[in-house]
Structure 1
Amino acid sequence: MTRKRNANRNAGAPTLADVARLAGMSEITVSRVVRNQGPIADATRTRVLAAISQLGYIPNRAAGSLASAASTLMTVLLPSLSNIVFPDVLRGIHTAITETGFQSVIGVTDYDPLIEERILLSFLAWQPAAVILAGLHHTPTARKHLEQGRFRVAELMDIDGDPVDIAVGMSHRQAGYETGRHLIERGYRRFGYAGHMLISDDRAKARYQGLCEALREAGLSLVGEMRVPGGGSTIAGRELLEKLLAAHPDLDVVIFPNDDMAMGGIFYCIHAGIVIKERLGIFGFNGLDIGQAMPLPLSTILSKRFLIGKTAAEKLLESRERPPEKTIINTGFDIIEGATA
């Protein structure tokens, strides 16, 4: 699937001379501000920084070391490396570039768009050949730099939106919708949701919305839901299910936004003597190996994380030039029926 690129996208990146003209300063003065060298008046610094922000100028830190050769840096910004989902993505990227001469430079954003913006701007100063990010939503400043850059861009995990260059992943809203349809077809009617706050997790939010849509179409709705602040974990899933069932003991199925939390729900059921599937269905998301290694394999959605990373890197390697058409690659997802719902 392709979409036409905005014809007004700047043909070239702004230069130091462009910043100097806009700020009404000499290039030497602008260079001193950029490099933070020598005494600089506050008013001068403010004017230069304002011009840099307006133009989206990125200083070339690699000019001296890479002036004679094309960059072989591939910048990768991921929300987390403690969440096993993203190391799987990184493994796919590494598999694609390991024999190409390209090197990955990795930054961790902690799911914070402002941290992503800061790391991105720092990495762009080294003039990478390509940038890989998770998701399609970035700060306006980050989006501007991504759109204006002369590098390739791949946004991973999500395809429900407008990519800068290449999007590789799945429709999370569709995954949530199919989760609801799957469980309704299995006879569940009293649905609960136990998750984390959705403010910083666009993909979990999209799945939640898809789930609610499927329930509405069937004349149903969530009977009860609870959330924990911050990210989800196995312990949080266990504690949350206990509280949710105390408030809504008649639930017959509970959906979790990830397998980690769903595993915590399973552990609570074992502790409380709740017969899984017969008394309470448990459904997760991601298809992690640990969930499938349980005596009762977890019912969940399989996200094709390794394939997403590998496909994105391979697509970026096809050409250094950003084509006029945007590319969206749907790697899809699979429902793992499992034995818990």
Structure 2
Amino acid sequence: MPRKRNAHRSPDMPTLADVARLAGVSEITASRVVRAQGPIADSTRARVLTAIAELGYIPNRAAGTLASAGSTLMSVLLPSLSNIVFPDVLRGIHTALTETAFQPVIGVTDYDPLIEERILVSFLAWQPAAVIVAGLHHTPTARRHLEHGRFRVAELMDIDGEPVDIAVGMSHRQAGYETGKHLVQRGYRRFGYARHNVTTDDRASARYEGLCSALQEAGLSLVAEHCYPDASSTKAGRDALAILLAAHPDLDVVVFPNDDMAMGGIFHCMYAGIAVKEKLGIFGFNGLDIGQAMPMPLSTILSKRFLIGKTAAEKLLESRERPAEKTIINTGFDIIEGATA
């Protein structure tokens, strides 16, 4: 006799009974592990958690409430809220949802795919109508949940890859390539690169690869680069440029992975008496307002962050059902010539 399944679950979604069967325990024991209630032997808990991970089981904490009425939650997972880039994305999402019944629930991943996975699994227990995540790269477990869930998915910022459902953003590799091409056309030949230590920032890596590709086409390459050991910040940019120039004072332009670090580079130039643009070009990424408010506006790439968030949320609102065809929306980017390179 076929077993009964939760009416709100997809037919191919694993149930608690599946978890219990794989772990070799009763459903009551499996439920106690899921709810973290009562004393459970460590070995039993380990078997149940292993079965949960293997099956991709998600407990339905919204059963009979949100799920029965149609969830109005939209889970949003962003790498950071201290970086002004992502609050701009969030403003776009909020603007699209303001006149609707939907409410965003925010999680911050700190650019860590394992943290993203953990928050995602936690959010999915509440049966959201849609999930918004940054980037196209996730852990295998997170990817499996996104692919097989009964909810819409929008992956933001990046379009260089295969989306689960909707991808909204720009080609970061192309942005890096256009940066290199632009600077070569302006006469720069001795390139430096000052970056931060976030190995999981795939978008920064893609821009770096695009930059190197453009230089190679021009018969050039990076003369020097320096990796600041901590996260991105204005101080990181200032210190990274100081170290880079101490070893290679003949550089004529330095590219930074974002405007925060590029601004730090400008501050170092001010301190060291280096004439920006005349002696050393400085180029960033993102097009932040603070960079454009400087006496010498920062030369950079404008990423359309508000538009990305707004477009993604609006697209998710079009239908609760995930269409067969995947959607890629290129919001593009603009080169801001500025006055620093």
Structure-2-length-normalised TM-score = 0.93
Structure 2 counterpart of 1:190? 190
Change (3 A) 1:67 1:310: closer
What is the CA–CA distance in structure 2 between the aligned matches of 1:268 and 1:42, rounded to whole Å? 54
**How many Å apart are 1:26 and its aligned residue?**
3.7
Structure 1: which 5+ residue stretches go unaligned? 1-9
Structure 2 counterpart of 1:90? 90
Change (3 A) 1:67 1:165: closer
What is the CA–CA distance in structure 2 between the aligned matches of 1:217 and 1:328, rounded to whole Å? 28
Task: Tell me whether 1:135 sits opposite 2:135 in the alignment.
Answer: yes
What is the CA–CA distance in structure 2 between the aligned matches of 1:336 and 1:162, rounded to whole Å? 29
- Is the partner of 1:181 in helix, strand or coil? helix
What is the CA–CA distance in structure 2 between the aligned matches of 1:313 and 1:127, rounded to whole Å? 17
What is the CA–CA distance in structure 2 between the aligned matches of 1:96 and 1:191, rounded to whole Å? 41
Structure 2 counterpart of 1:336? 336
Structure 2 counterpart of 1:180? 180
The code of the aligned residue for 2:143 comes to R
Structure 2: which 5+ residue stretches go unaligned? 1-9
The code of the aligned residue for 2:58 comes to I
- Is the partner of 1:325 in helix, strand or coil? coil
What is the CA–CA distance in structure 1 between the aligned matches of 2:136 and 2:67, rounded to whole Å? 31
Structure 1 counterpart of 2:106? 106
Task: Tell me whether 1:53 sits opposite 2:53 in the alignment.
Answer: yes
Change (3 A) 1:67 1:132: closer
Percent of aligned pairs with the same residue? 83
Q: Which stretch shows the higher mean deviation, 237-246 or 308-317? A: 237-246
**How many Å apart are 1:162 and its aligned residue?**
1.6
**How many Å apart are 1:67 and its aligned residue?**
4.4
- Is the partner of 1:68 in helix, strand or coil? helix
- Is the partner of 1:107 in helix, strand or coil? strand
Structure 2 counterpart of 1:3? none
**How many Å apart are 1:44 and its aligned residue?**
3.6
Structure 2 counterpart of 1:155? 155
**How many Å apart are 1:161 and its aligned residue?**
1.3
What is the CA–CA distance in structure 2 between the aligned matches of 1:203 and 1:105, rounded to whole Å? 24
Higher relative contact order (CA 8 A, sep 6+): 1
**How many Å apart are 1:64 and its aligned residue?**
4.1
The code of the aligned residue for 1:226 comes to H
**How many Å apart are 1:91 and its aligned residue?**
0.1
Task: Tell me whether 1:278 sits opposite 2:278 in the alignment.
Answer: yes
**How many Å apart are 1:236 and its aligned residue?**
1.4
- Is the partner of 2:68 in helix, strand or coil? coil
What is the CA–CA distance in structure 2 between the aligned matches of 1:295 and 1:47, rounded to whole Å? 62
What is the CA–CA distance in structure 2 between the aligned matches of 1:37 and 1:30, rounded to whole Å? 10
What is the CA–CA distance in structure 1 between the aligned matches of 2:68 and 2:135, rounded to whole Å? 33
Change (3 A) 1:23 1:259: same
Preserved contact between residue 12 and residue 150 of structure 1 (Cα < 8 Å) = no
What is the CA–CA distance in structure 2 between the aligned matches of 1:318 and 1:270, rounded to whole Å? 50
**How many Å apart are 1:11 and its aligned residue?**
6.0
Q: Which stretch shows the higher mean deviation, 308-317 or 268-277? A: 268-277
Preserved contact between residue 89 and residue 308 of structure 2 (Cα < 8 Å) = yes
Preserved contact between residue 198 and residue 205 of structure 1 (Cα < 8 Å) = no
Structure 2 counterpart of 1:165? 165
Task: Tell me whether 1:253 sits opposite 2:256 in the alignment.
Answer: no
Preserved contact between residue 173 and residue 206 of structure 2 (Cα < 8 Å) = yes
The code of the aligned residue for 2:218 comes to A
What is the CA–CA distance in structure 2 between the aligned matches of 1:48 and 1:218, rounded to whole Å? 57
Preserved contact between residue 67 and residue 127 of structure 2 (Cα < 8 Å) = no
**How many Å apart are 1:150 and its aligned residue?**
0.7
Structure-1-length-normalised TM-score = 0.93
**How many Å apart are 1:72 and its aligned residue?**
0.4
Preserved contact between residue 167 and residue 328 of structure 1 (Cα < 8 Å) = yes
CA deviation string 1:1-39 (max 9, x = no partner):
xxxxxxxxx864222233234344443332222223334
Structure 2 counterpart of 1:4? none
**How many Å apart are 1:102 and its aligned residue?**
0.3
The code of the aligned residue for 2:215 comes to L
- Is the partner of 1:266 in helix, strand or coil? helix
Task: Tell me whether 1:35 sits opposite 2:35 in the alignment.
Answer: yes
Structure 1 counterpart of 2:265? 265
Structure 2 counterpart of 1:6? none
Structure 1 counterpart of 2:300? 300
Task: Tell me whether 1:230 sits opposite 2:230 in the alignment.
Answer: yes
Structure 2 counterpart of 1:219? 219
**How many Å apart are 1:187 and its aligned residue?**
0.6
**How many Å apart are 1:43 and its aligned residue?**
4.2
Preserved contact between residue 76 and residue 104 of structure 1 (Cα < 8 Å) = yes
The code of the aligned residue for 1:162 comes to E
What is the CA–CA distance in structure 1 between the aligned matches of 2:28 and 2:249, rounded to whole Å? 71
**How many Å apart are 1:182 and its aligned residue?**
0.2
- Is the partner of 2:81 in helix, strand or coil? coil
Preserved contact between residue 228 and residue 236 of structure 1 (Cα < 8 Å) = yes
The code of the aligned residue for 1:219 comes to G
Preserved contact between residue 300 and residue 338 of structure 1 (Cα < 8 Å) = yes
User: How many aligned positions are there?
Assistant: 332
CA deviation string 1:128-179 (max 9, x = no partner):
1111111111111111111111111111101111211111111100000000
Q: Which stretch shows the higher mean deviation, 41-50 or 227-236? A: 41-50
CA RMSD of aligned residues (A): 1.5
Q: Which stretch shows the higher mean deviation, 117-126 or 82-91? A: 117-126
Q: Which stretch shows the higher mean deviation, 148-157 or 300-309? A: 148-157
